[in-house]
DNA sequence: TCTAAATTGACAGTATACTGCCAATCTGGC
DNA sequence: GCCAGATTGGCAGTATACTGTCAATTTAGA
């Protein structure tokens, strides 16, 4: 019996490929975020880092990377920029000389409060073209897919890691 | 009547945000692509560029950028790398000295044929954790969303631009 | 206790993304 | 034919991403 013919080598196959669509959608999402938040000069990554530090004061960079699932190497320069803007402080940990603890400054906490409405607008705009029911469906499937693919990511999300800096009693 | 309380400032809001999920999924997609295609030393962007040049031989960099919706500045260095690997040729256009025409080399066409099965495997793996019906639903909604948000992107997709280099009869 | 292994943060190198600018070139309107 | 405006490609500068390496430090095991 004849085998299936090889798929045609065309750009149309790319347009329908999941990887291509995820890339495009991510770029659109960043573009919308930056537009809504341009008054604040914060990138999506910087925003997520600020939120995570706010939720887990005194966390270190390595654990922060696990908590937001961002690359640890990259995160170093992200924190540097947040430090330069005076949104974040880094203090050496007394009991472990390798570690630097992260805290929000007053400015950091303030900008976080102020930027939230813009971020909410951005997030809403990304899904706006869809019908409300479809938005829910899409987000539901996406949450599932990201979760089920967690280990395929180079930096899997480890939300529970955040608690370790509060004392090693596990 | 009382207004809605402000949303809590927590990392959990980030985990459910569309922008965060699109970023994570894109990173997972790249990770899976690179794993399946590591024998070929081609990135997802380089692969898309090769496919587009194959589909539209003689296209120039600006039009290529519109056809795959990638940033024009970035595309310059992408093409340089493809040229360094001897997958792509750049020839000045005789009738317009500003333009450089892009063609695949024999190596470029060959690696494209060879890499396709690995790319297909990668694309399948990205959606594998979902049930088949859910994969269709997700892709359908994503195609819609990317299309409806096309103009929100900094580099909107203009697939029809590709035809212009074949003669300006519009 | 002494040391092998693990952890943390830093760094170098590559590859997207995007902004903004520039010179060379082409086109259209006059 | 000339000039204003558009187009093309290149470049500098910033910000993620990721790989791999390294030193300082801590931890765990023999």
What span, in angstroms and rounded, lies between the C-alpha atoms of B161 and B59? 10
Has residue B1 been placed in a domain? no
pLDDT of residue B7: 66
Has residue B5 been placed in a domain? no
CATH of the domain at A103: 1.10.10.10
The mean pLDDT value of chain B amounts to 91
Has residue B170 been placed in a domain? no
Has residue A126 been placed in a domain? yes
pLDDT of residue A161: 74
Has residue B40 been placed in a domain? yes
Contact B51 A122 (CB under 8 A): no
Has residue A169 been placed in a domain? no
Query: What is the domain range of residue B50?
Result: 11-164
In tens, the pLDDT along B43-98 reads 999 999 999 999 999 999 999 999 999 999 999 999 999 999 999 999 999 989 99
B5 pLDDT exceeds 90?
A: no
User: Does strand D come within 7 Å of the CB of A100?
Assistant: no
> For residues A75 and A102, is the Cβ–Cβ distance under 8 A?
no
Q: How many domains does chain B have?
A: 1
Contact A11 B113 (CB under 8 A): no
In tens, the pLDDT along B29-48 reads 999 999 999 999 999 999 99
* B154: number of Cβ within 10 Å: 12
Low-confidence ranges of chain A (pLDDT < 70): 1-7, 162-170
Residue from B6, B24, B78, B114 to probe the interface with A (highest A Cβ count within 10 Å): B24
Task: Provide the pLDDT confidence category of residue B153 given band limits of 50, 70 and 90.
Answer: confident
pLDDT of residue B165: 52
Has residue A105 been placed in a domain? yes
Has residue B63 been placed in a domain? yes
């Amino acid at each position: 019996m004849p085998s299936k013919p090889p798929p045609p080598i065309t750009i149309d196959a790319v347009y329908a490929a999941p990887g291509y669509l995820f890339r495009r959608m991510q770029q659109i999402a960043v573009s919308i975020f930056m537009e809504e938040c341009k008054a604040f000069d914060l990138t999506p990554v910087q925003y997520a880092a600020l939120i995570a530090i706010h939720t887990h004061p005194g966390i270190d960079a390595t654990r922060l990377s696990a908590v937001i699932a961002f690359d640890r190497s990259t995160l170093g320069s992200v924190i540097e920029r947040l430090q330069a803007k005076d949104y974040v402080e880094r203090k050496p940990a007394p009991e472990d000389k390798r570690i630097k603890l992260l805290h929000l400054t007053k400015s950091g906490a303030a900008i976080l409060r102020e930027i939230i409405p813009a971020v909410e607008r951005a997030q809403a705009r990304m899904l706006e073209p869809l019908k409300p029911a479809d938005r829910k469906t899409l987000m539901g499937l996406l949450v599932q897919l990201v979760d089920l693919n967690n280990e395929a990511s180079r930096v899997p999300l480890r939300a529970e890691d955040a608690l370790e800096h509060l004392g090693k009693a596990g």
